[in-house]
Amino acid sequence: MRLLKRPTRARKLRMEQGYARIEGEQVLQHETRGDMLRLLNAQPGLSLGEVGARVGLARGPTQWHLDKLERNGYLTRVRHGGETLFFPRALPPAQTRSLAALRHPSRRALLELASRAQGLRPSQAARELGLQPPTIRHHARELLDLGLLAQHGDERAVRYVPTQTGLAMLASLQAPAA
């Protein structure tokens, strides 16, 4: 036989006042959730800890508010590289995936380096970024798959060149946050 815990007085009060059932546009009437959504519109792709630090909340309440925003269709979360990142639902999925990938400093540095060079060789990228060639190929493959980087030449003379999408993505990351 399973014993049920009696609700605490505070929980009864919250249930009576309807806090647990706030849905839809009412979700944004909470000041903290409104702040979180504005923050993620200005800086998409922040982690749980980054959102909490910027709005001044501990991990638990931050998670609760982000979950509430996600359940009501305002946010989406993406797991990338062992990290959960939060994005406004209004962003197209391709842009969300690209922003998540560019959170990795080596990937972003590779795309930035390719944008400055006229055709970046993998060996040159490895030297300038201080990474091993297999690591460069790994990050380049992800950027190629996302359409942020293009590969020219045959396998003996490969050069990486940023696509227009890649250049636009870099520009959006370097623009000051609103």
Low-confidence ranges of the chain (pLDDT < 50): 1-4, 13-15, 17-18, 178
Question: From CA 147, how far away is CA 160, in angstroms rounded?
Answer: 12
pTM for the predicted model, two decimal places: 0.75
For residue 21, what pLDDT is reported? 63
99-174: what fold? Arc Repressor Mutant, subunit A (1.10.10)
**DSSP string across 123-159:** HHHHHHHT--HHHHHHHHHHHHHTTSEEEES-TTS-E
CATH number of 9-90: 1.10.10.10
Q: Could you tell me which residues come within 8 angstroms of residue 104 by beta carbon, excluding any fewer than 6 positions away?
A: 81, 139
What local confidence, expressed as pLDDT, does residue 83 receive?
Answer: 87
Sequence ranges of the domains in the chain: 9-90, 99-174
* Three-state DSSP state, 84: strand
**Residue 177 has what pLDDT?**
53
Q: What pLDDT does 118 receive?
A: 78
Q: Are 9-90 and 99-174 in the same CATH fold?
A: yes
- 105-116 vs 164-174: helix axis angle to the nearest 10? 120
pLDDT number for residue 11: 52
CA 85 to chain centre: 4
Q: What is the pLDDT of residue 142?
A: 94
Burial 23-41 (b: 16+ CB within 10 A, else e): eeeebbeeeebebbbebbe
